[in-house]
Structure formats: C-alpha cells, structure tokens
C-alpha cells in the first residue's frame, strides 16, 4: 500500500485495485504513521488490529491521557478499551451541548421557569405547618408586588432592584 501511495494513488484507487474497503485502506495506512507508544504496542503484539490502532491514534489527539493509560496497562489492547474512551468522549459532548442549550434559552423562558419555581415555593409556604411566619409571607408578597410593578413600567424594561427602592445611591 505504501508504494501505491508513494506512486500517487488515492486511497480509493488503492481500495479498488486491492478489492478492499476504503476504511480498511485508511486503517492500514495509519499503521505507517503511528505515534511511538502505539507503534510499540503494535510491534510487541499487544494490539494487532489496524482499526483499533487507527482509533487510538485519532483519540491520542483529543484524549492523550486516556490513550496513555490504556497503552500503559499490561496485556492486550482491545477495541472495547477504545470504545470506553469514545463513550466517555460522547458523554462529555452531550453534557457540553446540554449546557450550551441552557445558555441559549431565552430570557422570557428563564423568567417563566423561575415563576414556576416560585409558584411551587408559594404552595409549600402557605401549607399548614410550613415554617414561615406571617411577617415573612408578607415580605414575600411586598417583594412580588414590587417586581410586578417593575415589569409593567417602561415596557417591562425597568430595573427591578431600583424600582423596589433598593437601588444603588
């Protein structure tokens, strides 16, 4: 394969001529440029799967500490070990996407979510036996009235803290 690449053949052309899948060509060609620790694992027989080595080489770019841990273990390096790194990587991506989508939530959606939380707190506060004093409940009502007033003045764009009389000097 190397000589065909050196002669200028594309991976697709090599795959067609040899009658093998294009990904198989890519996996085998990756063996020619393995990082030293993966090359050692290949030469020692601890990992003989071109696909596994190809995937480890790709993961080395983004998860070098995980690859180093797998290569540093005793015994055979298996595809399942690589899969565990890939699964962990996917889990991290899902968590990052979830956090990003929360950041993109509109301000109105955030305010509505807070109102729902507040509503459930009010239900708990007004139940018999709740550890809330009448004065505490009255203070919450006043604060809520101040916020409602702040939302109605100036098209809902006023500063609720200053509207409550607790603003800066």
* CA distances from residue 13 to 5, 22, 28, 50, 143 in whole angstroms, order as listed: 10, 9, 15, 19, 73
Instruction: Note whether residue 168 is domain-resident.
Output: no
Q: Look at residues 61, 82, 104 and tell me which one is the last residue of a structural domain.
A: 104
Give the mean model confidence (pLDDT) for residues 65-84.
86
Q: What is the pLDDT of residue 13?
A: 92
How much is the average pLDDT of 96-115? 74
- 37 touches 30 (CB < 8 A): no
**What is the total residue count of the chain?**
169
Residue 11 included in any domain: yes
Same domain for 17 and 82, yes or no, is yes
Give per-residue pLDDT as tens, 123-157.
Answer: 888 777 888 888 888 888 888 888 888 877 654 44
Do residues 93 and 11 both lie within one domain? yes
What is the rounded CA–CA span in Å between residue 10 and residue 156? Answer: 63
Rounded to whole angstroms, the Cα distance separating 166 from 160 reads: 9
The pLDDT value given to residue 19: 94
SS3 of 59, please? helix
Return the pLDDT at 53: 93
Total structural domains in the chain? 2
Percent over 70 (pLDDT), the chain: 80
- Range with lowest mean pLDDT among 26-40, 96-110, 118-132: 96-110
Report the predicted TM-score, pTM, of the whole model to 2 decimal places. 0.49
Last residue of a domain, one of 104, 125, 153: 104
Q: What pLDDT does residue 52 have?
A: 92
What is the DSSP-derived secondary structure letter of residue 131?
Answer: S
Q: pLDDT band for position 166 (50/70/90)?
A: very low
Where residue 61 sits, what CATH number does that domain have?
1.10.10
Task: Clarify whether residues 100 and 143 are in a common domain.
Answer: no
Shared domain check, 96 and 129: no
- When pLDDT is averaged across residues 2-17 and rounded to a whole number, the result is 89
Query: Would you state the pLDDT for residue 16?
Result: 92
Q: Is residue 82 a contact partner of residue 70, using CB atoms and an 8 Å limit?
A: yes
């Amino acid at each position: 394969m190397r000589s065909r690449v050196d002669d200028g053949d594309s991976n697709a052309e090599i795959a067609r001529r040899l009658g093998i899948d294009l990904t198989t060509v890519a996996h085998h060609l990756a063996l020619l440029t393995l990082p030293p620790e993966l090359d050692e694992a290949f030469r020692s027989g601890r990992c003989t799967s071109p696909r596994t080595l190809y995937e480890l080489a790709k993961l080395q770019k983004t998860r070098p500490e995980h690859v180093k841990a797998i290569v540093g273990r005793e015994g055979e390096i298996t595809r399942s070990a690589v899969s565990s790194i890939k699964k962990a990587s996917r889990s991290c991506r899902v968590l990052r996407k979830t956090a990003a989508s929360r950041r993109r939530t509109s301000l109105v959606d955030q305010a509505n979510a807070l109102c729902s939380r507040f509503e459930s707190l009010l239900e708990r506060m007004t139940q018999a036996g709740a550890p809330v004093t009448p004065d505490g409940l009255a203070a919450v009502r006043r604060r809520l009235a101040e916020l409602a007033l702040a939302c109605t003045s100036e098209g809902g764009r006023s500063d609720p803290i200053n509207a409550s009389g607790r603003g800066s000097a």
